[in-house]
Structure 1
């Protein structure tokens, strides 16, 4: 079934807008956006609903939102090791916060879409050479050459596929035992043993005793082998974000939900 399209989703094109690249071939951009619109959504309705619910709890003071990640992701940085380490860092922090605050922690990585960068100027000058500013891997390259700094619509597709592979790994790590509470705590032991973090050693010991008590009491650790982990990014690049919108039928009505639900505008789940 072809995706529905609402003309209102293109209303942004008639408004003043900043932080968008100067695409050399607008027709090519439009074609790539159509290709992205026809690709499978990166996240699904149920995942988005879960995130909305968790954010509502945080907004009402019944949970704490923890987000961590890079200010701008790179395509080269989307490796299994680096993705795993980012997840590991957020989970380590979440365990300490959960224990210290005694409330649920909504865990969110600034990942799987943070490929665009806002710039204070459209151009960059080095010596006598002025070139377009680097706007993130989803737009152009970092190298200070004319070819690298030319905005390339093909990078929008690369951004989609990189986000898809990142989300695939996130789901595997967080649902396949990597995020087991007992494993996460063992990471914190190493964290607390660092001389710079001695003040956490006492808390780590307390968490260790709590986990041993739960095991002795017969806690179902099978349920603790998996963890909810969401991702979010700035909805900066409209030629990418707009075609990521998807529809679903709910109660007989057409309802929008975002395949990419950025924190500033709407987040990957």
Structure 2
């Protein structure tokens, strides 16, 4: 945690404050922002050092041509869309694509969801004018609301806390779905077969048949299919809101 870090480390983490930063909200109440950031620092981290190390290793393998990186998700997440059904649908799409890519490329696929944190949007113009009225631009649900009203468009630091809460619940579901049987290769393949049964995608039927034949071969050869019931699924987002990112940057407790 931050309180365990030495002054030199803390200074290194906060160096961004000495540099120009673009696309940052004009928070109307700096004290409220500091309160929100201080509260975020007291909360548990969203990801852990071991997870980051594992992803770093897999990305290195991809850079050597030993794996393929698949990243999918929304340009910006909304609080309203962070429901279990919508999260499950996004994960399902990523897993379906990963199965096809793994079979076609014959290399591991590093699966990354652009989710669990993408609640901010960059804006080249901090203000937006509509019908003769000028208000702050919409910068994502972590900052303000989409509705074109003065109340909704005023940046609210409490939204940073809600972004953390939404991210934490999304990550919980991602971990549960990726290890609890939802990502079972057999189930994912059945989803793909249903998708390819649509006449619009009939040209994929042969591809689906090849995967099906390969899975039957693995079963016949005695491959333990239980080993294919879980996957590693990572999350990513753009580090746009620097006070939030500062609060969520933690010291590796192992070192």
Give me the TM-score of the superposition, normalised by structure 1.
Answer: 0.91
Out of 195, 205, 208, which is 2:199 matched to?
A: 195
Structure 2 equivalent of residue 11 of structure 1: 15
Give distance in 2, aligned partners of 1:26 and 1:52.
35
Match status 1:111 vs 2:115 = yes
Structure 1 equivalent of residue 34 of structure 2: 30
Give distance in 1, aligned partners of 2:82 and 2:161.
15
Give distance in 2, aligned partners of 1:200 and 1:64.
21
Gaps (5+ residues) in structure 2?
Answer: none
Give distance in 2, aligned partners of 1:149 and 1:249.
38
TM-superposed deviation, 1:34: 1.3
Out of 173, 184, 187, which is 1:183 matched to?
A: 187
Structure 2 equivalent of residue 209 of structure 1: 213
Give distance in 2, aligned partners of 1:197 and 1:241.
42
Structure 1 equivalent of residue 78 of structure 2: 74
Structure 2 equivalent of residue 223 of structure 1: 227
Q: Helix, strand or coil for the counterpart of 1:76?
A: helix
Gaps (5+ residues) in structure 1?
Answer: 255-269
Contact kept in structure 2, 1:107 and 1:230, CA below 8 Å: yes
Give distance in 1, aligned partners of 2:193 and 2:161.
41
Q: Helix, strand or coil for the counterpart of 2:223?
A: coil
TM-superposed deviation, 1:249: 4.9
Give distance in 1, aligned partners of 2:12 and 2:40.
18
Contact kept in structure 2, 1:3 and 1:246, CA below 8 Å: no
Structure 2 equivalent of residue 262 of structure 1: none
Q: Helix, strand or coil for the counterpart of 2:28?
A: coil
TM-superposed deviation, 1:45: 1.2
Give distance in 2, aligned partners of 1:3 and 1:84.
37
Give distance in 1, aligned partners of 2:200 and 2:111.
25
Match status 1:241 vs 2:245 = yes
Moved over 4 A (4+): none
Per the alignment, do residues 185 and 143 of structure 1 end up closer, same or farther by CA in structure 2, a change over 3 Å counting? same
Q: Helix, strand or coil for the counterpart of 2:119?
A: coil
Give distance in 2, aligned partners of 1:200 and 1:34.
52
TM-superposed deviation, 1:9: 1.5
Give distance in 2, aligned partners of 1:123 and 1:149.
10
Give distance in 2, aligned partners of 1:159 and 1:108.
19
How many residues of Structure 1 are paired with residues of Structure 2 in the alignment? 251
Q: Helix, strand or coil for the counterpart of 2:141?
A: coil
Give distance in 2, aligned partners of 1:176 and 1:136.
32
Matches within 5 A, 1:145-164: 145-164=149-168
Give distance in 2, aligned partners of 1:154 and 1:33.
9
Match status 1:132 vs 2:136 = yes
Structure 2 equivalent of residue 257 of structure 1: none
TM-superposed deviation, 1:201: 1.2
